[in-house]
Each structure stands twice: as C-alpha cells, then as structure tokens.
Structure 1
Amino acid sequence: MNAPRIEFCGEWYDVSPDDVFYIGREGDLTIDDNPFLHRRFLAIGFESAMFWLINVGNALSATVTDTTGQVQAWLAPGARLPIVFGELQVLFSAGSTTYDFTIHTDAQYFGTSPLTSVAPGETTIGPIQLTSSQRLLILALAEDVLRQNSPGRGEIPASSQAAERLGWTQTAFNRKLDNVCDKLDRIGVPGLRGGRGKLATNRRARLVEYAVSTRMVNPDDVVLLDQEAAANARSSTSV
C-alpha cells in the first residue's frame, strides 16, 4: 500500500512510512492556532505493515468514517485505528470550531455497500428517522460545516444563534436539542451525554460531527434552512 495523502483546506500533504506524521496546533499539518486544540492531537504512523491513525492527545476525540458514512469509529485519547479504506473522513471539534480532513490511500482491505462486512471494532450506522424539525435543528448547527467546498473548518453557532436562524424560541430549540441527543444516545452514539442523565457540555459539536460524518445531513439539505426562514417571514407578515 502506498503512503496516505491528506486533503485539508484545498491543500494536500504526503505521509511517509519512515516518519510519524503529526496533526494539531503544531506539526506536519498545522490545523489552526486554536488554543482549545492540542499541540499534537492526531498522528499517522506505519507499523505492522499498516498505516494507523492515532489519537495522541489527552482530551479531544475524533470521529472517523468511510466515504459512505456507514462505518464510523470514535477515536478517543490513546486509541488507534488502522487505515483500511481508500478514503476516510476525520472530524473533530475544538471549542466552537469543527474541523475535518480526508485521508486518501490506495487501500483495498475493505469496501462498503449496504450489505458489506466491516472491520473488527468498527460500527455500521443504520438509518436514523428524524422529524422535519429535528433535521432543521441539526442543519442550523451544521450549516457552516456543510457549506465548505473542501475539507477544512466550520464554526458551530451558539444555541441562541441557531434558534434565531430557525425563527424558534430558545426554549423550543433547547427542548428539541434534548430530544435529538436523547434519541441518538439511546442507540449508542457516544459523547452526547455527560453521564448519570447530565447532558454533555459539547453536545452541539458532537451532534454536528455525528450528523455530518454519517450523512444524516448533507450540503444539499442546507436549502431547507432558507425555506424555513422564508416560511417564517410569510407567517409573520400575514399576522
């Protein structure tokens, strides 16, 4: 297998099998000067005849999926994942910013289709039924990420900003956010609850990572936000 190449913000980076490739606030791929981002967060190394994606940080996690969004892994601090697909999308959040980059290889270990098998330790993602309002909520949070033309960075709005984008009250937005997070938590999506019934403080970022990586929402859906805004405008003028 040839060495992977990484695409980030329209630029390409080559990985050598002879050296560890570091990704973070500093490193071979400098993501951003975001103080919430580890100096060295992720690494790609060659070991046991395979390339591995490794979380070398101590706080942040990354979401890793194949191109179809059917196979997902949550890469916690200290965890590693073999790079066994031809293309992997990596998403992670630091503060209010969500970043993503793509790893390209000529790996032919696994492919995905609705009925294919997956690598040990990975998870297949089944279809999640969303109500129209739940989809709109996720789109309002993920809009900046989805509008990117290439892997890079996107800001996640505060709940008040997302509620305003939708024309909802803050109370209605928070209630629907609770419902979406509860629904995904019940099917085993990690990172949306803080334990013992306490919602995770970074649940908006984690929700965006999961929804974008599993293709629950995609760039074509963003038009629904404009349609909702237009409908709210018509409603307000008719009163």
Structure 2
Amino acid sequence: MHPVTAAAADALTVEFAGEEFSVAPETVFTVGREGDLAIDDNLFLHRTFLTIQHVEGMWLLSNVGSRLSATVTDSGGRVQAWLAPGARLPLVFASTSVIFSAGPTTYELTIHAAEPTFHDTQRPADDDGLSTIGEVPLTHSQRVMILALAEPVLRREGTGMSELPTSAQAAERLGWTLTRFNRKLDNVCDKLDRIGVPGMRGGVRSYATNRRVRLVEHALAARLVTRDDLPLLDAEHDSLLNGDDGHREDDA
C-alpha cells in the first residue's frame, strides 16, 4: 500500500473504505485480493483484478481478471462503461467511481485525478418526476425493489464493501411476497436488457445471483436510486402493514 504524500500534480489518489492511496506515474497500482489495495479476503475476488498505470501521458484502468467485470462511471453518474475482462479505459474525470461484485459482496472505490482531462457539466434535472434510464421510466414499485437490493450500499458511509440481500430478504424488507419481488426483478432486468445495459442476462445457473448484483451496480452508477430515496422503503413496508394497496396498480 502507498500512503498519500505530497504527490506530483499528475498523480492519482485511490479512495476505499476511508483509506487513501497515491499512485505515482512511474508505478502500476494493483487492486484485488492481494496487491497495493488488498480489498478483501474474498475467494470470489481475483488476486489481481484491476490495475492503474500511466501510459504515454494518460492514466489507464485495466481489468486483468478472467471472470469479473466492473462498472466505471464519473462520480456524477453521467458517463458509464462496463469494464469486462481484458478491457481498459482511460481515466479522464476528476472523480471516477468503480463498482464491482464478487460473490454476494459489492465493492466501490473512487479514483481522484489532480488534473483531469475532462470536467463535469451539470445534468439537467428531470421535470416529469420519474427516474429514467434512457427512455425507460421506473414505476414506484420498481424503484423500491431496487432500493431493497441496494440498501446496504446506500447506507454505507463513503466507499467500501457491502453484502447484498437475497431476493427473499429484500422481499421481506418490503413486506412483499417472493413471487411479487421476482416478477418485479424480471421486469426491470428485461427493460434494462432491451436498452442495451450489459450483464442483465446470464446462464441458467448464475442468472438469479448475477442479475441482482449487476442491477445494483448499474443502479448505483446511473444514480437510479440514492440515499435520499431510502425512506421509501419504510413507507412501502408500512403501507402494506396498514392494508394500503395504493401502489399495486404498477405491478406490470
């Protein structure tokens, strides 16, 4: 690990779980079960998963693993890419979020550039009151379903790691039946798959787990749900306890 020091202007800083590490241009910074940033003793995680290095005047983030992928976004959620095994991306923003899952655990780290190539611009606010991904609107029940899966990550302070709930646990959190929850999960994943969001489909054995973690990764990166939305979870649970079926009409 490299503790932060007074680095040159072209150095990067990697932030994870309250710790910061500086990356000098002449080094290769490694992230995984082992390396400069040894994140977690998680056997689902590669020993070396990601590398950061300075090549011909540009910082590059590379996926050197063989199975896992990562979602990479500017910290404003305006630009998003899926970093598959063997792929690499330039780090051009002042702040870049990297979100990935290994087994049931989701991780998030942030990379800060002292002198970014591009700067954020303000995104216009939606004026229709709906959360959207491209042209796909999210109904209330779709939104709270995503919140139930992403709640541990949203309640976490800063970057770090979070264990995602199972479908049964998320359904119980909402006061829903597991059948209703899975129907809603199917619906959202189908919508995202149709507009080209990768990772929403998979093999028969891995689909149930992979779609949950991939949905959470995309929802966090695209800012589909935020910490400000968390009160909706208790409101949904309480409304069902009180016999209020007011949101059942959007159960498509």
TM-score with structure 1 length normalisation?
0.90
Give the aligned partner of residue 210 of structure 1: 218
Find 2:202's aligned residue among 194, 204, 224.
Answer: 194
> What is residue 172 of structure 1 aligned with on the other side?
180
- Aligned equivalents of 1:187 and 1:165: distance in 2? 29
Query: How far apart are residue 40 of structure 1 and its match?
Result: 0.4
1:160 is paired with a residue whose SS is: helix
1:77 aligns with 2:77: no
Q: Which amino acid aligns with 1:211?
A: A
Residues 31-84 of structure 1 show CA distances to partners (whole Å, capped at 9, x for unaligned) of 100110000000101111111101010000000000211100100001000110
CA contact (8 A) 2:14 2:110 kept: yes
Q: Does structure 2 retain, via aligned residues, the 8 Å contact 1:128–1:216?
A: no
Give the deviation of 1:107 after TM superposition: 3.2
Unaligned stretches of 5+ in structure 1? 117-124
2:77 counterpart of 1:63:
no
Distance 1:98 1:61 in 2: 12
Partner of 1:41: 49
The one-letter code of the counterpart of 2:116 is Q
> Which whole-Å CA distance do the structure 2 matches of 1:72 and 1:41 have between them?
19
2:134 aligned with 1:126: yes
Equivalent residues of 1:167, 1:232 under 8 A apart: yes
Cα distance in structure 2, aligned partners of 1:107 and 1:127? 34
Residues 43 and 54 in structure 1, CA contact (< 8 A), matched pair in contact too: yes
Q: 2:227 — aligned with what?
A: 219
TM-score, reference length from structure 2? 0.85
Match of residue 122 from structure 1: none
Residue 106 of structure 1: how far off its partner (Å) = 2.1
Contact kept in structure 1, 2:78 and 2:123, CA below 8 Å: no
Task: Give RMSD over aligned pairs.
Answer: 2.0
| 1:103 equivalenced with 2:111 (yes/no) | yes
The equivalent residue for 2:12 is 4
Counterpart amino acid of 2:28? Answer: V
Displacement after TM superposition at 1:200 (Å): 6.2
Which stretch has the larger CA shift, 201-210 or 186-195?
186-195
Contact persistence 2:202–2:210 (CA under 8 A)? no
- Report what 2:169 is aligned to: 161
Size of the alignment, in residue pairs? Answer: 227
1:54 aligns with 2:62: yes
In structure 2, distance between residues paired with 1:3 and 1:171: 50
Name the residue aligned to 1:120. Answer: none
| Structure 2 alignment gaps of length 5 or more | 1-8, 125-132, 245-252
Partner of 1:147: 155
Displacement of 1:225 in angstroms is 0.4
What secondary structure does 2:138 align onto? coil
Measure the CA separation in 1 of the matches of 2:161 and 2:181: 24
State the alpha-carbon separation in 1 of the partners of residues 201 and 83 from structure 2. Answer: 17
